[in-house]
């Protein structure tokens, strides 16, 4: 069961306790058909806290027959997630120009790990991912990141559009979306100021609603016939343009 290399918690009461103790839960899996008052309490708690969850068939729990799992399994993040506001307050207190990366619907753990590795090298202050439809901090992601996930704060958000609005209007951060739909080339964007860069998955791109609220859209020019760069490569191009414009500071 290589899928469960990270720490797991089994059982209804154990998972409820972990959530109440603010343990970093990546995802909760429920056996299809689970019923009962205690299960309903857990389900309500998971929904209230915005924790990702999914229903899985009975077969998914066969490997854990020796555990009193009660049809409930929670995957625990090996590295704690951070609050974006807290990270940005620390960045501003140090006198740094904020540099944030926002990843929309990037689910491949290798791309996620590779992006965070580049982010660490480029001096990114925080990586923001959505609670759902996103790769998480797993053992595979940690390995691909070459340990960068231990060094770069990763922040989860229920709503990326809300995050973008708050960055723009409360923090004064310019938010650039990297998309082939843009007319402006990325080198024409001013990235010496406080900046956030949004990247989307290769198959779905950036959500249209999210594109509607960014400061501007930019593209990476291409000459080949393949439609788009691998998102990890595109992320590196965008991030190191920030480094270039800021004089490699």
pLDDT of residue 154: 96
Cα-flanking dihedrals φ and ψ of residue 237, to 5°?
-60, -50
**Beta-carbon count within 10 A of 76 CB:** 15
CATH for 185: 3.40.1280.10
Quote the domain boundaries for residue 214: 84-245
Do both 94 and 174 map to the same domain?
Answer: yes
147-173 mean pLDDT: 96
Do both 154 and 117 map to the same domain?
Answer: yes
Residue 247 has pLDDT above 80, yes or no: yes
Residue 243 has pLDDT above 90, yes or no: yes
Do both 200 and 235 map to the same domain?
Answer: yes
Do both 63 and 91 map to the same domain?
Answer: no
Burial class (CB in 10 A: 0-12, 13-18, 19+), 210: buried
From 76, 104, 120, the end of a domain falls on 76
Cα separation, 246 vs 125, in Å, equals 14
Residue 234 has pLDDT above 50, yes or no: yes
Residue 204 has pLDDT above 90, yes or no: no
Do both 175 and 225 map to the same domain?
Answer: yes
pLDDT of residue 52: 86
Do both 63 and 124 map to the same domain?
Answer: no
Do both 208 and 145 map to the same domain?
Answer: yes
pLDDT confidence tier of residue 185, bands split at 50, 70 and 90: very high
182-188 mean pLDDT: 96
From 21, 44, 76, the end of a domain falls on 76
pLDDT of residue 1: 32
pLDDT of residue 28: 93
Cα separation, 7 vs 76, in Å, equals 5
Do both 222 and 116 map to the same domain?
Answer: yes
Residue 32 has pLDDT above 80, yes or no: yes
Residue 105 has pLDDT above 50, yes or no: yes
Residue 6 has pLDDT above 60, yes or no: no
Q: Count up the domains in the chain and report the number.
A: 2
From 76, 100, 122, the end of a domain falls on 76
> What whole-number percentage of the chain has pLDDT above 90?
66
pLDDT in tens, 40-77: 999 999 999 888 899 999 888 888 888 888 999 998 88
pLDDT of residue 249: 55
- Flag the least confident range among 5-14, 36-45, 115-124, 208-217: 5-14
CATH for 28: 3.30.1330.30
Do both 119 and 71 map to the same domain?
Answer: no
Global pTM reads 0.79
């Amino acid at each position: 069961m290589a899928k469960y290399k990270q720490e797991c918690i089994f059982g209804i009461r154990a998972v409820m306790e972990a959530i109440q103790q603010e343990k970093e839960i990546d995802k909760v899996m429920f056996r299809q058909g689970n019923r009962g008052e205690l299960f309903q309490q857990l389900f309500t708690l998971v929904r209230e806290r915005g924790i990702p969850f999914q229903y899985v068939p009975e077969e998914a729990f066969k490997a854990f027959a020796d555990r009193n799992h009660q049809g409930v399994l929670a995957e625990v993040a090996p590295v704690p997630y951070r609050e974006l506001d807290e990270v940005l307050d620390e960045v501003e207190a140090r006198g740094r120009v904020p540099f944030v990366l926002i990843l929309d619907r990037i689910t491949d753990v290798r791309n996620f790990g590779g992006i965070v590795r580049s982010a660490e090298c480029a001096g990114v202050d925080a990586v923001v991912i959505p609670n759902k439809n996103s790769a998480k901090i797993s053992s595979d992601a940690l390995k691909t990141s070459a340990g960068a996930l231990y060094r770069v704060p990763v922040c989860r958000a229920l709503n990326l559009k809300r995050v973008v609005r708050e960055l723009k209007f409360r923090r004064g951060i310019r938010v650039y979306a990297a998309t082939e739909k843009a007319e402006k080339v990325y080198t024409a964007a001013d990235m010496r100021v406080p900046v956030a860069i949004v990247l989307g998955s290769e198959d779905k791109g950036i959500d249209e609603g999210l594109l509607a609220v960014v400061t501007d859209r930019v593209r990476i020019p291409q000459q080949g016939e393949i439609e788009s760069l691998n998102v990890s490569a595109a992320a590196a191009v965008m991030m190191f343009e920030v480094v270039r414009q800021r004089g490699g500071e």
